[in-house]
Structure 1
């Protein structure tokens, strides 16, 4: 009968591992303290192991960093697209590129994929267009297949888009089998060589040499994604584009430039100048994406920077040269023609709410878009045809305008 009273008097029995407790003055329990000590020792050992692993990883990274960088620079030269082969495409034109990039950018942002996934997808798209003739009605399909391959290659598995989701984004313009066939054909065309050192990979190497600066990193991302819209930057190697974008981002944010002897500071002044010339008229999809505070609202920072540049340019015209104050000197390498719009916009295209995907022009099942732009589609239907090689397009170039309607379209063999 004394046991309930003892339980009320010493409620600390609940901390013991055993129901039977020795009758002593230590009511906290010997076994409970021993278990807590073991748990603390185990946690301290894990922390020491983690610190040791990070230290060994840092030492190993510093030791092999030059070898890794040499391999990345070698791989980027092996996986560069050929812009001259894209130039001789018979159907797709450069004015279509911003529309497709808007679609890929918004799809990439909707699925919350990694930044390098977008750059790898565009690289796969350009490399495929360098080797195959792409019809206008398949341009968006190639872009979706490239994004799907890039997401499977280097992104998280739970964020890889499904074919059903891509089909819905394309307004059911393509069947499910067409996505699978195009994905297989892109891989076959590129000889299954997917790995490409993207701009973001070189940016990470360059940013490891300085302290963490999220605004500088987001500004660099903005500039590199802006460069995707323009064919002038397709032949530029990602390593050069990354360092040039980082240099321009430092100028915009008024960050100090490192010594030019460092690898991260060896930018190309001409590339920096060309990038600054395209800052004025970016894609609205890109502006909406980088207007969020999650990405440091760098698009708003760009607008403020351009306004200051415009005011300083007007002041320099009105003020004599001898009276110019030195403390307002422009540090960024901006050309006098940077106010000219460079990125093709969408005149006459119906306004779209924020977050709504805007697929590019396709000559099938999109007659209202053709009427807005005066485009007369040469082929009806969405039957998939395997693209031709660049060598075969010379025979197609001299054919009659009705060639695509007369020639039977073979099916792609699985």
Structure 2
């Protein structure tokens, strides 16, 4: 039997194992000293150490998984957070990497600026293994990516882009609880979208990705870790971080083009009003340049106003200024003079 015939059984076992070895985000939330904002600083250190020792990609994913699983079960002090990360990287390298590339305690101590003694590294390594009951194996994102990429023709740029997106997800809390199988398919779908590659068919295992996870991953492409961006800017990793920056710039230009309304064309041969007089904003029949002596616009000559030809026939002079319309004056009724009758004045007689 070939490996393809065992692939379905292998996937079933890997998906079972990933469910058994997932960290608990709620338990990490109740840590008293370490906080989520400290995570990017520790991961920057682990990414640099991982690149310096030239370890395999799956070693980094396994080290972060061991770190999160330990923090889910033990109280970690802030001063020991980096020490736990170094112990997790050391265990992951011993578990799956080549022996000549496994870092020594002295090298890790030097990278930590001699903050911890040699015995502290050994004690923490032993304590992590005891806490996890010596269950180290964990199906990483990289292992699921290898299965998904085996179904199509190998494309190194797509693989490097999927690695880059998957490592960006390590820095954010919302992806800690996402299973590696789901994260691998979603990162691969986003990588193909960025590189304008054709997507996998829905009938294939790689084509059953989670669109919500793809959207969340795309939202975190704008501000990646500077350490991670420099790592994937090298040519042996296809300079995929530079490709992502160019892709985001093109998307921003398209978004601005769709949002910004077109600028209306400038009116040609538009003459300014004479003497800087501001015309009213009400609609006008036409534009007139004639201005009276006192600065008022000459009204248009139409048969309806007092400047029509009929007014000249009546010898009515036009008004210089518009006045408030009033009713026509009416003649007051003439009052009739009152007639008074004069009676002669009779002097009264005196009684005799």
Shorter-chain TM band = 0.7 to 0.9
Which of structures 1 and 2 has the larger relative contact order (alpha carbons within 8 angstroms, sep 6+)? Answer: 1
Candidates 197, 203, 206, aligned match of 1:264: 206
Q: Tell me which residue corresponds to 1:289.
A: 231
Kindly indicate whether residue 182 of structure 2 is the aligned counterpart of residue 240 of structure 1: yes
Kindly indicate whether residue 122 of structure 2 is the aligned counterpart of residue 180 of structure 1: yes
Tell me the TM-score normalised to structure 2 length: 0.74
Q: Tell me which residue corresponds to 2:57.
A: 115
Candidates 65, 73, 98, aligned match of 1:131: 73
Candidates 54, 77, 87, aligned match of 1:145: 87
CA distances 1:41-88 after superposition (whole Å, capped 9, x unpaired): xxxxxxxxxxxxxxxxxx520111111110000000000000000000
Q: Which runs of 5+ in 1 are unaligned?
A: 1-58, 321-414
Larger Rg: 2
Q: Tell me which residue corresponds to 2:9.
A: 67
Q: Tell me which residue corresponds to 2:155.
A: 213
CA distances 1:73-131 after superposition (whole Å, capped 9, x unpaired): 00000000000000000000011000000000000000000000000000000000000
Q: Tell me which residue corresponds to 2:37.
A: 95
Instruction: After TM superposition, give the deviation of residue 319 of structure 1 in Å.
Output: 4.9
Kindly indicate whether residue 248 of structure 2 is the aligned counterpart of residue 306 of structure 1: yes
Counterpart Cα distance in 2 of 1:74 and 1:283: 32
Q: Which runs of 5+ in 2 are unaligned?
A: 263-352
Counterpart Cα distance in 2 of 1:157 and 1:319: 61
Count of residues in correspondence between the two structures: 262
CA distances 1:171-192 after superposition (whole Å, capped 9, x unpaired): 0000000000000000000000
Counterpart Cα distance in 2 of 1:227 and 1:122: 11
Instruction: After TM superposition, give the deviation of residue 260 of structure 1 in Å.
Output: 1.2
Q: Tell me which residue corresponds to 1:342.
A: none
Kindly indicate whether residue 132 of structure 2 is the aligned counterpart of residue 194 of structure 1: no
Counterpart Cα distance in 2 of 1:212 and 1:263: 16
Note the aligned Cα RMSD (angstroms): 0.8
- Give the structure with the larger helix fraction: 1
Instruction: After TM superposition, give the deviation of residue 236 of structure 1 in Å.
Output: 0.2
- Describe how 1:243-392 pairs up with structure 2 within 5 A: 243-319=185-261
Tell me the TM-score normalised to structure 1 length: 0.63
Counterpart Cα distance in 2 of 1:64 and 1:272: 29
Which portions of structure 1, spanning 4 or more consecutive aligned residues, are displaced by more than 3 angstroms? none
Kindly indicate whether residue 24 of structure 2 is the aligned counterpart of residue 82 of structure 1: yes
